[in-house]
Amino acid sequence: MSHFAYRGNKLFAEDVALDRLAAEFGTPTYVYSSASLIENFSSYAAACSKHGRSENDALVCYSVKSNSNLAVLSLLGKQGSGFDIVSGGELLRVLAAGGDPSKVIFSGVGKSRDEMRLALTHDILCFNVESIPELHRLNEVAAEMHKQAPVSLRVNPDVDAKTHPYISTGLKDNKFGIAFSEAIETYKVAHNLKNLRVVGIDCHIGSQLLDDAPLLEALDKVIELVDELHQAGIELHHLDIGGGIGITYDDEKPVKVGDYLSRLFTRIDAWRAEKYQGKPITVLFEPGRSIVGNAGVLLTEIQYLKHGATKNFAVVDAAMNDLMRPAMYEAWHGVQPVLQRDIAGQTYDVVGPVCESGDWLARERALAIEQGDLLAIMSAGAYGMTMASNYNTRGRAAEVLIDGDKIMLVRKREMPADLFALESIPD
């Protein structure tokens, strides 16, 4: 059930009319629904417990990059979520939000020494390492700190995720992960480094996957490696299958999280029963979009309706700097007028004020709108605010979290002076 729905002719977020939020906080503003976040997180948690997994045997590590607002992190942390981070900055966010560092995994191809030190100081659950040089650097940093760094290797299972090439990560020629054919040798290197402790294996093959077949294929490849490592005397504590489950932006029908997890756990259980006398292995997930994507909209006001020679434009006050996905991936987002009008519709391109032809949010949409109306750009909870920039010296949008009829401003709008506060003019 969507928590963004019309009541009468007005679009609501849970029990709050969106026009009220525009009046109170201005536009553009991201609006998130707590109920939706909790429901989406619960679909993972419920599937884990249905398959007999306690928090120790299955952990959902929410992918912070998809939406890193402290309020979102705090809410998910309270639901029991762990966190998948890709920078020291994200770790500091998780800590500021009261997240538990012992449930944090650190992914990414380019971890700096400082980031490693920070993560080791907070005793995170695991580093997802992506190369041999990274193993050596982590070993050195851990040695300096008289610690042992828990390590998982991100392997590249070379499966086709069948998604947009920019968000596909599991193929041989991607920059991500360790080649499947080199995985065992790399594990041996890690195993022999004194200040590393090998604890897991991980992969992430891409994002916005509609079908779970590529994920289950990746699982089979990972299982093969776990068995080979077992034979080589290297025992793993966990297996991390990454994130990637897609959402409905338009009419896509993504696999249901519960169905995917059922198939995954069934395979894992059969494998453990056959080869390890049923001894369990902890399973980790790194979902982002499937938790926050449809829990957020971007609220914007129409500045002008411009009727061109061949096209009509609705020029709104949100732009590519607020929501980069259309410009970057030609991504499709639904557009809903906050007020449904009883007038004839026309076809519009919804565009922003930024000086780039690529600055569009939606194309060729039938909309019954007037100048000054509000629009909701749908499914904008994931990779919306986190990818926002200050291009054209535009302050980033405000963020509001709704819980029933409760309204919480969870990030103030950035003001122009904030944008040049760190700059200076040389004497």
Tell me the catalytic residues. Answer: 355
- Choosing from 288, 326, 337, 381, the residue that interacts with ligand LLP (CB under 6 A) is 288
Contact positions with ligand LLP (CB under 6 A) in 94-153: 107
200 touches ligand LLP (CB under 6 A): no
- Toward ligand LLP, which CB reaches closer, 208 or 336? 208
30 touches ligand LLP (CB under 6 A): no
- Smallest gap from residue 362 Cβ to ligand LLP (A): 15
Please say whether the beta carbons of 300 and 255 come within 8 A.
no
- Toward ligand LLP, which CB reaches closer, 204 or 394? 204
Give the 3-state secondary structure of residue 131: coil
State which amino acid sits at residue 38.
I
254 touches ligand LLP (CB under 6 A): no
296 touches ligand LLP (CB under 6 A): no
Of the ranges 288-296, 306-314, 338-346, 350-358, which one interacts with ligand LLP (CB under 6 A)? 288-296
Residue 354 CA to residue 360 CA, distance in Å, equals 9
- Choosing from 167, 247, 297, 338, the residue that interacts with ligand LLP (CB under 6 A) is 167
- Choosing from 204, 238, 365, 394, the residue that interacts with ligand LLP (CB under 6 A) is 204
Please say whether the beta carbons of 417 and 49 come within 8 A.
no
| β-strand partners of 4 | 13
- Toward ligand LLP, which CB reaches closer, 244 or 296? 244
- Toward ligand LLP, which CB reaches closer, 74 or 386? 386
66 touches ligand LLP (CB under 6 A): yes
> What's the CA dihedral at 241, 243, 244, 248 to 10 degrees?
130
For 245, phi then psi, to 5°, come to -65, 135
Q: What angle do CA 72, 77, 78 make, to 5 degrees?
A: 105
- Choosing from 84, 130, 134, 403, the residue that interacts with ligand LLP (CB under 6 A) is 84
Please say whether the beta carbons of 375 and 314 come within 8 A.
yes
177 touches ligand LLP (CB under 6 A): no
The pair of structure tokens assigned to 239 is 């297996």
The pair of structure tokens assigned to 121 is 């100081």
DSSP labels, 284-330: EE---HHHHGGGEEEEEEEEEEEE-SS-EEEEES--TTT--HHHHH-
Contact residues for ligand LLP, defined by CB under 6 A: 63, 66, 84, 107, 167, 204, 207-208, 242-244, 286-290, 325, 329, 382-383
